Amino acid sequence: MNDLRPAARLPLLFLGMISLLAGVVAGLARLAWDVPPVAAAAAGWHGALMISAFFGTVISLERAVAIGRLWAYAAPAAAGLSGFCLLAGAPLGVVQALAIIAAGVMVGASLQVLRRLTAPFTIVLALGAACWLVGNLAWLASGMLTPAVPWWLAFLVLTIAGERLELTRFLPTPPAAQRLFIAIVGTILTGAALSLWFADGGLRLFAGGLLALAGWLLRYDIARRNARQQGLTRFIAVCLLSGYFWLALAGALGVTGALLPGDIWRDAALHAIGLGFVFAMVFGHAPIIFPAVARVKIPYHPVFYVPLLVLHASLALRIGGGLVGDFAVQRAGGAANALALLLFIATILISVVRGKRQTSSSRKVTHDETP
């Protein structure tokens, strides 16, 4: 058996969801909300749970499904287990080793994709996977999350950028724009690398790359055209375009030094990327990616906009509170962020049930009409 059956992929997704839910509650603990002791104890690992454990699981699972090789599923398995072990109180070295194994396998899967098709977008996707690996190694070497954060963010940003770049192949993108994209990716990687030794200059350069990338995506992404369509196509485009706004804001804040540890606007800059940009992409792509991974149907419904609106409104509240130094407003926005994610999960689950009912009804009609 070369690939893993869809039903066997669900436990891997479940492992990732554990890290997501724990990471969200740990984030609430950081905002001084009362949470269960196990989540409060994980407050310091909020970033590791959300990025390396959860997104590492989900993205590497998607990559494993794409190449259809059994060995590639070791990546989401190890990433999911790293989050579980972190919550269970396992030695930190075990958690870090699992994370490194996960990223290493995903780099291998990305190189497999690269051998099948060498193109700018597959190169960017491979670079994104490599950033996850470098971030995990930086975490191991330093014992702290701070050096890993720029690399983990680059992992998410370049993965999304690579996927969007793939779709620009269907648009008449000028050669100069393609060269500019390569320069932007180089700026992001250079900034992340410099941040290991020169945090101030490196993180500002990194942020400048994010700002430039947001501008490039707003100008050249097919989402601008798709926003004039209807249904799911329009919903995805709205998610993307709104996410690019948050990426631009994060870049603008980061250029002023907001990504530096201890900066009063650091929470605003980080969550503009992690919540505003990345989760807007998740909301938009989940109706496509989840059916591909789990082989379930998720029919579109306008109610999909509700979690998206709550996400953006709550993030504006959180970031606004952070920028003016009002912790009560920032804290309330953080709680509403968690509500937005829960609404999103509930919406997807309800849609899966609707999809199953529609499939069952279609089969019944077909059976009844068969002579």
Q: State the average pLDDT over residues 259-276.
A: 96
**Mean pLDDT (the chain, rounded):** 92
Whether the CB-CB separation of 277 and 244 falls below 8 Å is answered with: yes
For residue range 24-81, what is the model confidence (pLDDT) as tens digits? 999 999 999 999 888 888 999 999 999 999 999 999 999 999 899 999 999 999 999 9
Per-residue confidence (pLDDT) for residue 288, from 0 to 100 = 87
**HSE-CB for 247 with a 13 A CA cutoff:** 31
Distance, in Å, from the CA atom of 278 to the CA atom of 285, rounded to the nearest integer, reads: 11
Residue-level pLDDT at 366: 47
Instruction: State residue 168's pLDDT score.
Output: 76
The structure's pTM equals 0.93
pLDDT, tens digit, for every residue of 185-203?
Answer: 999 999 999 999 999 999 9
- Band of residue 365 on the pLDDT scale cut at 50, 70, 90: very low
Average pLDDT of the residues in 75-90:
96
Tokens of 198: 């020169």
Whether the per-residue pLDDT at 336 is higher than 60: the answer is yes
Give the tens place of pLDDT for each residue, 114-161: 999 999 999 999 999 999 999 999 999 999 999 999 999 999 999 999
pLDDT > 90 fraction of the chain, expressed in percent and rounded: 80
- The distance of Cα 142 from the centroid of its chain, to the nearest Å, equals 24
